């Protein structure tokens, strides 16, 4: 069976890191013997420039027909002054909503050779391996009503924080399943001391726990969770939370690893199809210079193999190759020490891709 994959390079460094990761995907498909068919389309700022929309209908239609989407990044200064609903980011949010990608998996893993890059003391982050499961199609990001209106001669802005029971239950079950296959611990993050919507969240997550006796469930308020993440991050295994808290906590967790350029993500629908993208942004300041780190996009391809393409061996092989290139001393600028030792070799985007490919021979 041939699986369709849609490639959306997007903006900034996206068009540089995506081809490198596609080459890796083609290599593992060949080596592990699964058939893929690639197509590409426009999204984000580039799509605005060429079609007037950050998510042209053709792109969404192609994405809906694909088993997996590989996305580079969207956005850049050229589009910063557009109104909220016309910005490149809407392309991303439209894909999440249109494909019902409700489960966002954001691993924060510390790569041993990069331990020094963390802003925390290395003993606090050594061997760190956290997985944040963020609800991605609900909560305050999508709640209605929303807007800015004029009341009594002044403007009033408002959004709605809303979750239904089934939305909470399905993301909780994804997180419980993942926790059961990892360290067996799940921390649900809410603000149940203040917000009714998250009191419901806590109730529904607790009820789902009855079906997962092998997982130890805990609850934390989001302010405390933010503090605990920087105080003692290794206390966490899997964290499950809503859309906005997950947005914020996943950036904190990413920074703990000291290497935003290394982190992949997966956004999954109920049928296992998904969108895979690096956590880093479009980095317009280094775009077009062969400086970007392609490893987060390559690791996103590994997640694609594991979660959507049913090719766990390919996923393992890619992850092993990435560890090996780092252990061998290859570094793009973002993860290169200021005064590197003689065992470190600084490389560009394409060369880093070639290093990974060679290990996948
Ligand atoms: C992320 C980003 C997006 C979000 C933006 C670009 C809309 O911050 O994926 O975390 O807020 O979800
Ligand atoms: Mg974010």
pLDDT at 146 over 80: yes
Tokens 């694909």 -> residue: 66
- 142 shares its domain with 253: yes
pLDDT for res 117: 79
Instruction: Identify the domain boundary among 200, 229, 264.
Output: 264
- 205 shares its domain with 179: yes
Q: Rounded CA gap, 354 and 351, in Å?
A: 5
How remote is the CA of residue 247 from the centroid of ligand 1, in Å?
6
pLDDT at 259 over 80: no
pLDDT for res 161: 98
pLDDT at 116 over 90: no
Which is catalytic among the residues 211, 223, 285, 310?
A: 223
Which protein residues have a CB closer than 5 Å to ligand 2 (ion)?
247
Please report which confidence band the pLDDT of residue 321 belongs to, taking 50, 70 and 90 as the band edges. Answer: very high
pLDDT at 88 over 90: yes
Query: pLDDT digit string (tens) for 205-248?
Result: 999 999 999 999 999 999 999 999 999 999 999 999 999 999 99
Partners of 206 in the β-ladder: none
- 226 shares its domain with 297: no
CATH number at residue 283: 3.40.718.10
Q: Rounded CA gap, 252 and 259, in Å?
A: 12
The helix (run of H) or strand (run of E) holding residue 218 is strand 216-221
Instruction: Identify the domain boundary among 264, 287, 317.
Output: 264
pLDDT at 339 over 90: no
Question: Mean per-residue pLDDT for 40-66?
Answer: 98
pLDDT for res 133: 98
- 115 shares its domain with 236: yes
For residue 117, the enclosing domain spans: 104-264
Q: Decide: 277 in ligand 1 pocket, CB within 6 A.
A: no
Shortest-distance ligand to the CA of residue 89: 1
With b meaning 16 or more CB within 10 Å and e meaning fewer, what string describes 96-112? bbbbbbbbbbbbbbbbe
Which is catalytic among the residues 129, 169, 251, 313?
A: 251
How remote is the CA of residue 244 from the centroid of ligand 1, in Å?
9
Active site residue 247: yes
Closest residue by CA, ligand 1 atom 7 = 89
Q: Decide: 247 in ligand 1 pocket, CB within 6 A.
A: yes
pLDDT at 106 over 90: yes
pLDDT for res 24: 98
Question: Mean per-residue pLDDT for 48-55?
Answer: 97
Active site residue 251: yes
Question: Which atom of ligand 1 lies closest to the CA of 251?
Answer: 10
- 248 shares its domain with 361: no
Which is catalytic among the residues 163, 191, 291, 307?
A: 191
Closest residue by CA, ligand 1 atom 1 = 247
Q: Dihedral of CA 258/315/60/45: which sign?
A: positive
Q: Rounded CA gap, 279 and 344, in Å?
A: 25
pLDDT for res 118: 84
- 302 shares its domain with 191: no
Q: What is the CA radius of gyration of the chain?
A: 20
* Distance (Å) of CA 309 to CA 102, 107, 193, 347: 18, 19, 41, 30
- 251 shares its domain with 155: yes
pLDDT for res 137: 97
Question: Mean per-residue pLDDT for 58-80?
Answer: 97
- 242 shares its domain with 288: no
Among 106-120, 322-336, 347-361, where is mean pLDDT lowest?
A: 106-120
Closest residue by CA, ligand 1 atom 4 = 247
> Quick one: what percent of the chain has pLDDT higher than 90?
90
* Distance (Å) of CA 131 to CA 36, 312, 318, 352: 28, 18, 19, 26
Using alpha carbons, select from 103, 124, 100 the residue that is nearest to residue 238.
103
pLDDT for res 84: 85
In the chain, how many domains are there? 2
Q: Rounded CA gap, 292 and 271, in Å?
A: 33
Average pLDDT, the chain: 96
Question: Phi-psi category of 277—alpha, beta or left, where left has phi over 0 and alpha has psi -120 to 50?
Answer: beta
The tokens of 287 are what?
Answer: 């775009």
Query: pLDDT digit string (tens) for 302-313?
Result: 999 999 999 999
- 259 shares its domain with 275: no
pLDDT at 354 over 90: yes
pLDDT at 332 over 80: yes
Q: Rounded CA gap, 281 and 259, in Å?
A: 13
Q: Decide: 92 in ligand 1 pocket, CB within 6 A.
A: yes
- 223 shares its domain with 282: no
- 192 shares its domain with 331: no
Active site residue 223: yes
pLDDT for res 187: 98
How remote is the CA of residue 104 from the centroid of ligand 1, in Å?
11
Instruction: Identify the domain boundary among 245, 264, 283.
Output: 264
Packing angle between helix 349-359 and helix 312-327, nearest 10 degrees?
120
For 77, counting Cβ atoms within 10 Å of its Cβ (0-12 exposed, 13-18 middle, 19+ buried), the class is exposed
Identify the three-state secondary structure at position 310.
coil
- 153 shares its domain with 75: no
């Amino acid at each position: 069976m041939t699986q369709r994959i849609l490639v959306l390079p997007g903006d900034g460094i996206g068009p540089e890191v995506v081809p490198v990761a596609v080459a890796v995907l083609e290599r593992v498909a060949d080596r592990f013997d699964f058939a893929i068919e690639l197509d590409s389309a426009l999204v984000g700022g580039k799509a605005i420039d060429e079609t007037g929309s950050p998510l042209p209908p053709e792109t969404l239609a192609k994405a809906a027909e694909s088993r997996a989407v590989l996305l580079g990044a969207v956005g850049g200064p050229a589009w910063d002054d557009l109104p909220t609903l016309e910005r490149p980011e809407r392309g991303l949010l439209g894909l999440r909503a249109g494909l019902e990608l409700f489960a966002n998996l954001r691993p924060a893993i510390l790569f041993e050779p990069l331990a020094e890059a963390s802003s925390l003391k290395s003993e606090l982050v050594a061997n760190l391996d956290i997985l944040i499961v963020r609800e991605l199609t609900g909560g305050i990001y999508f709640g209605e009503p929303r807007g800015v209106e004029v009341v009594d001669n002044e403007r009033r802005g408002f959004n709605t924080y809303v979750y239904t029971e089934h939305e909470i239950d399905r993301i909780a079950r994804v997180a419980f399943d993942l926790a059961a296959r990892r360290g067996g611990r799940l921390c649900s993050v809410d603000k149940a001391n203040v917000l009714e919507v998250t009191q419901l969240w806590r109730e529904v997550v607790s009820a789902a726990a009855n079906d997962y006796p092998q997982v130890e469930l805990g609850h934390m308020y989001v302010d405390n969770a933010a503090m605990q993440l920087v105080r003692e991050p290794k206390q966490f295994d899997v964290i499950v939370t809503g859309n906005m808290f997950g947005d914020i906590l996943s950036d904190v967790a990413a920074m703990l690893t000291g290497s935003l350029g290394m982190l992949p993500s997966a956004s999954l629908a109920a049928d296992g199809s998904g969108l895979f993208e690096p956590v880093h942004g479009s980095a317009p300041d280094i775009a077009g210079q062969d400086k970007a780190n392609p490893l987060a996009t390559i690791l996103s391809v590994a997640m694609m193999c594991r979660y959507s393409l049913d090719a766990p061996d390919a996923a393992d092989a890619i992850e092993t190759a990435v560890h090996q290139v780092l252990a061998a001393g290859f570094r793009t600028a973002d993860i290169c020490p200021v005064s590197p030792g003689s065992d470190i070799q600084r490389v560009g985007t394409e060369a880093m891709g070639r290093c990974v490919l060679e290990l996948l021979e």
